[in-house]
Amino acid sequence: MYRSTLTGLFFALLLSSSIARAMQNPAAVKSDDDARAKLEADFARTMSGAQLVGYFTRTGQPDDKPLSKDRYTLGTVEKVNGDIWRFDARIQYGDNDVTVPLMLQVKWAGDTPVITLTDFPVPGMGTFTARVLVYRGEYAGTWSAGDHGGQMFGKVARPDATSDGAKDETGGNWPSFRGPGARGYDDSHPLPDTFNVETGENILWKTPIDGLAHSSPVIVGDRLYLTTAVKEGEDTLRVGLYGEIGSVQDDSEYQFKVLCIDRHSGDILWTRTAWQGVPAIKRHPKGSHAASTPAADAKHVIAFFGSEGLYCYTPKGELLWSKNFGTLDSGYYMVPDAQWGFASSPVIYKDKVLVQCDVQGDSFLAALNVETGDELWRTPRDEVPTWSTPTVAVGKDRAQVICNGYKQIAGYDLSTGEQIWSLVGGGDIPVPTPVVANGLIYITNAHGRMAPIYAIRTSASGEIDMPPDGLANQHMAWAYARRGAYMQSPLAYKDLLYLCTDAGIVSCFDAVDGEMLFRERVGDGRSGFTASAVAGDGKIYYTSEQGSIQIIRAGREWEKLATCDLGETCMATPAISGGVIYFRARNHLLAIGLPADNEIRDSDQSAP
């Protein structure tokens, strides 16, 4: 009865909307046509990168038979001409899993779009006809293939929602390290699968940047923000695969700077010197004094320079406040004289700035008022030095701040700082940032006797333990003791989890059950990989320390697309916004994307 009612309601809606529109006067029709452009823009934005997750029936099947699950993962959805739209769709049902570009009609029943397929061939599956109505985050419709058919219905799941369905309100910005929620991907626009710095292919602009820094770009609106550490003369940097615990012996005076750049042109809009002097803590030979990525929203730009302080600017470059936490010495805990420099990045969440300061001595997690810098709460951590950035995960029943660690991997209440759950053990030099997806918290680290990967449930509480390899327990969906990563943060993308070692070995897991799907090498085996992977438009970008960009196709099988070269070393994780990938290399900031209407230029500006 439910299925027949669904079909009747579907066609009744179409009929009533058509009759009502036909009875309108010309002025009203024109007004509707003017509003259609907004509806179409909203539809494209809602559907691009979304997943249609639901069920389908077969006509004539018994009512007591379980419904069949299906899933449609969309890439870019855009209007082509008239009623014709392009949907880049990955279709999954049963044992079938194919990705195809679909040129489909989209009809409108009032303010409601109806996706239309008529005798459309899907490779390996057959020829399909369907009518699918989309409204308020849900879809429903009918389908047929040959002599059989049925109904289909489900929800439109957005990738910019948290694991528990809470909406991400970043509006397409990339406001902190690895973007919203540290997720590391942006599926909102097409991205290039190749580029060439020498010929200018897909290079939108290239701007010189002074100093040595490993911090990533962040983007809010039309503005991009960077930090850098500048001294007289050239800084040394030793990249590659090697082990070294010593520090760079350098007593030079530095200027720690914050830059604002027009993200469309690459022009430097302003530069501010936050601090000047000899840094209190030395850096690692592969490190920099500007390793913490800034954080930004529409009103604030937060830059963290470790022992030299936390600084808050307006988007126009006016200093609002600054705060000094004293000496923050991050180094190898077993050799206290080995100073490596601070690297954890701040995160803005609504009215709070969150900082994780795991150092030699008194480690802590703190929340500050973003308007004033006043401390809202501070929670001590029994932790060795780490270089990880905290992640905020907000669900229906819980808002927590998640910290990687060695002695205290933990989740904390966002409002109070009270510890919710904790886990002891893992690699003893934690660097990767936690990532949340699929109702799970993915944490990895390495060095020492373990290199684990944990898939911790967001509902975890109390003291939790790791289950045997590949198995689950109350608080973990799965875990492995020796398959994790040392430097790179994990990437949870399209139901898969990707990890990359510092030697460039990429492992792909089913993100839900932990099944390993492949393990392959990117690069030549001699390159180090420090920057974390980013993804979009079905592609994943891995950056070697030598500046070689390895591009692979996202999926359950290994497929390499291209190798491209920045022409200089690169330690920073890229940022993605508006169909452009921003690479912060040793001497330049590069914007790489499909040209479209963008002006390709080489900026001659450097930081004043």
Per-residue model confidence as pLDDT tens digits over 537-590 = 999 999 999 999 999 999 999 999 999 999 999 999 999 998 999 999 999 999
Write a three-state SS string for 132-201.
EEEECCEEEEEEEECCEEEEEEEEEECCCECCCCCECCCCCCECCCCCHHHCCECCCCCCCCCCECCCCE
Euclidean distance between the first and the last CA atom of the chain, given in angstroms as a whole number: 72
- Judge whether residue 4 has pLDDT over 60: no
Question: 564 and 435, same structural domain?
Answer: yes
- Residue 9: its pLDDT value, please? 43
Question: 419 and 531, same structural domain?
Answer: yes
**Residue 427: closest CA among 510, 333, 526:** 333
- Residue 96: its pLDDT value, please? 58
Q: Which domain holds residue 108?
A: 2-157
Write a three-state SS string for 493-549.
ECCEEEEECCCCEEEEEECCCCCEEEEEECCCCCCCCCCCCEEECCEEEEECCCCEE
| β-pair partners for 56 | 68, 152
| β-pair partners for 53 | 71, 155
Question: 64 and 190, same structural domain?
Answer: no
- Residue 99: its pLDDT value, please? 65
**Residue 286: closest CA among 236, 342, 330, 229:** 236
Region 181-208: mean pLDDT is 95
- Judge whether residue 353 has pLDDT over 70: yes
- Judge whether residue 395 has pLDDT over 90: no
Question: 360 and 416, same structural domain?
Answer: yes
- Judge whether residue 227 has pLDDT over 90: yes
- Residue 60: its pLDDT value, please? 78
Question: 287 and 326, same structural domain?
Answer: yes
Q: Is residue 601 part of a domain?
A: no
Q: How confident is the model at residue 601 (pLDDT cuts 50, 70, 90)?
A: very low
Q: What is the pLDDT of residues 412-448, one digit of tens each?
A: 999 999 999 999 988 999 999 999 998 999 999 999 8
Which residue spans within 24-95 are E strands per DSSP? 51-56, 68-81, 84-93
- Residue 397: its pLDDT value, please? 84
Task: Please check whether residue 489 is in contact with residue 432, taking contact to mean a CB–CB distance below 8 angstroms.
Answer: yes
Distance, CA of 76 to CA of 97 (rounded, Å): 18
Task: Please check whether residue 248 is in contact with residue 236, taking contact to mean a CB–CB distance below 8 angstroms.
Answer: yes
- Residue 94: its pLDDT value, please? 52
Question: 467 and 567, same structural domain?
Answer: yes
Q: Per the structure, how many domains does the chain have?
A: 2
Region 87-104: mean pLDDT is 68
- Judge whether residue 64 has pLDDT over 80: no
Q: Is residue 163 part of a domain?
A: no
Question: 221 and 94, same structural domain?
Answer: no
Q: What is the pLDDT of residues 235-254, one digit of tens each?
A: 999 999 998 899 999 999 99
- Residue 5: its pLDDT value, please? 40
DSSP letters for 428-456 = SS--PPPEEETTEEEEE--STT---EEEE
- Residue 97: its pLDDT value, please? 58
Task: Please check whether residue 334 is in contact with residue 347, taking contact to mean a CB–CB distance below 8 angstroms.
Answer: no
User: Which residue would you say has higher pLDDT here, 26 or 534?
Assistant: 534
Structure tokens at 248: 């760079």
Length of the chain: 608
User: Which residue would you say has higher pLDDT here, 262 or 243?
Assistant: 262
Distance, CA of 34 to CA of 41 (rounded, Å): 12
- Residue 93: its pLDDT value, please? 53
Q: How confident is the model at residue 6 (pLDDT cuts 50, 70, 90)?
A: very low
Q: Is residue 162 part of a domain?
A: no
DSSP letters for 393-418 = EE-SS-EEEEE--SS-EEEEETTT--
- Tell me, yes or no, if the pTM score tops 0.85: no
CATH code, 26: 2.40.128
Q: What is the pLDDT of residues 372-394, one digit of tens each?
A: 999 999 999 999 999 999 999 99
**Residue 537: closest CA among 583, 489, 493, 596:** 493
Task: Please check whether residue 240 is in contact with residue 548, taking contact to mean a CB–CB distance below 8 angstroms.
Answer: no
Question: 293 and 439, same structural domain?
Answer: yes
- Judge whether residue 484 has pLDDT over 60: yes
Question: 206 and 135, same structural domain?
Answer: no
Q: CA triplet 398, 399, 404: central angle to 5 degrees? A: 115
Q: Is residue 602 part of a domain?
A: no
Q: Of 109, 124, 157, which residue sits at a domain end? A: 157
| β-pair partners for 571 | none
Q: What is the pLDDT of residues 269-289, one digit of tens each?
A: 999 999 999 999 999 999 999
Q: Is residue 170 part of a domain?
A: no
Single-letter amino acid, residue 190: P
Q: Is residue 174 part of a domain?
A: no
Which residue spans within 2-125 are E strands per DSSP? 51-56, 68-81, 84-93, 96-109, 112-122
Q: Of 123, 157, 191, which residue sits at a domain end? A: 157
CATH code, 227: 2.130.10.10
Question: Which H or E element spans position 28?
Answer: helix 26-47
User: Which residue would you say has higher pLDDT here, 548 or 525?
Assistant: 548
Of 21-35, 172-186, 592-606, which one has max mean pLDDT?
A: 172-186
Question: 214 and 115, same structural domain?
Answer: no
**Residue 405: closest CA among 377, 367, 443:** 443
**Residue 288: closest CA among 244, 230, 208, 246:** 230
Distance, CA of 50 to CA of 73 (rounded, Å): 6
Distance, CA of 186 to CA of 542 (rounded, Å): 15
Structure tokens at 430: 């934690």
Q: How confident is the model at residue 604 (pLDDT cuts 50, 70, 90)?
A: very low
- Residue 596: its pLDDT value, please? 59
Return the C-alpha torsion angle 499, 503, 504, 510, nearest 10.
-20
User: Which residue would you say has higher pLDDT here, 4 or 207?
Assistant: 207
The number of beta carbons lying within 10 Å of the beta carbon of residue 103 is 11
- Residue 220: its pLDDT value, please? 95
- Judge whether residue 151 has pLDDT over 70: yes
| Averaged pLDDT of the chain | 87
Q: Which of 249-263, 496-510, 593-607 has the lowest mean pLDDT?
A: 593-607
- Residue 572: its pLDDT value, please? 98
- Residue 600: its pLDDT value, please? 41
Q: Is residue 21 part of a domain?
A: yes
Q: Identify the residue whose tokens are 């689950």.
A: 472
Q: Is residue 85 part of a domain?
A: yes
Q: What is the pLDDT of residues 155-177, one digit of tens each?
A: 786 544 443 334 444 557 999 99
Question: 570 and 510, same structural domain?
Answer: yes
Q: Of 142, 157, 172, which residue sits at a domain end? A: 157
Share of the chain above pLDDT 90, in %: 67
Q: How confident is the model at residue 123 (pLDDT cuts 50, 70, 90)?
A: low
Region 256-267: mean pLDDT is 97
- Judge whether residue 506 has pLDDT over 50: yes
Question: 364 and 228, same structural domain?
Answer: yes
